[in-house]
Structure 1
Amino acid sequence: MSSDVPGFELPLRLLLAFRVLIDELHAELARQGHAELRPMHGFVMQAIGPRGTTAVELGRVLGVSKQAAGKTVDTLERLGYVERSTDPADTRRKIVRLTAYGMDALERSARVFDALRARWAEELGEDRLRALESDLRRMTPANPWRLDIPGWFGTL
């Protein structure tokens, strides 16, 4: 079966859709008081999660070195999104946890993503958007939480 659309356009359009959504998310987060957040910070904060983690585990989940993860944690700590504390179970380990400010950013992100999805549904039609989402679920792994994107891109 032949197509007049070159095969390379599909991944580029998917990446552009991702970029449009992320850029709009960050523009809105900036308006809501989180101007210093960068797209990579969202991956890091999701990987830290509500219970916290260590720099070693964070690096593993993100697919980057402990040092690269630590550098980003330093930035997020300086900005007030995370804090380090001693692990009560092992005083040699440091646990990275989200602060209230960090949790606020994640909660706002979830609401902004819902609003962006609603806008796409209005523009494309709810049925077409649901079909697109269904098709993407069919063509991708079941678990959408691949937080190793930073390491896969070779950045962070």
Structure 2
Amino acid sequence: MNAIKAVSLTLCYSCVAISMVTVLIPQKRTRRVMSFAVGLFFISTFITVVSAQVSEIDFHSPNVAEIPIPTYHDADSQEVVAQMTADHLTQALNELLHNEGIDVKDIKLSLKISDEGRISVVRAVIYISEKDIDKMPAIKSIVYRNISKEPEIHVTGEEAQQVAE
């Protein structure tokens, strides 16, 4: 990165210097000679800087043994993926239900990852307040359309706390 920065700065400074010298060049016979000299100066400056910076670059490719390989267990990574997916699905369902005017107390999703890598919802539990009892069919419909699993709906926030404990 420093090499690119050095080449760019030199290029910019050279362009500024050449522009100033070009303005001072008379319009008659000396213009051709001076233009040639300025061009030669620009090219030599650019080549010098590029060659100096290229010599500093290490083109050595790393040995395979030098590259660190992270170690993790497949089951651990699957648990992390399942938890992240459950969190994102919970957030998305919460937003969908909120947009429909349904105040959800809590959403609990249990996911499973198959051997083929497919993620499926095993269990969906939604906790709502008593004022949203009449919206249970809408809740079931929204959740089923989005995760293809009919949720268990519990009507008090107290049960959500008991399950979490």
TM over 0.5: no
Instruction: Considering fraction of residues, name the structure with more strand.
Output: 2
Q: Larger C-alpha radius of gyration, 1 or 2? A: 2
TM range (shorter): 0.3 to 0.5
Q: What TM-score do you get using the length of structure 1 for normalisation?
A: 0.35
Higher relative contact order (CA 8 A, sep 6+): 1
Q: What TM-score do you get using the length of structure 2 for normalisation?
A: 0.33
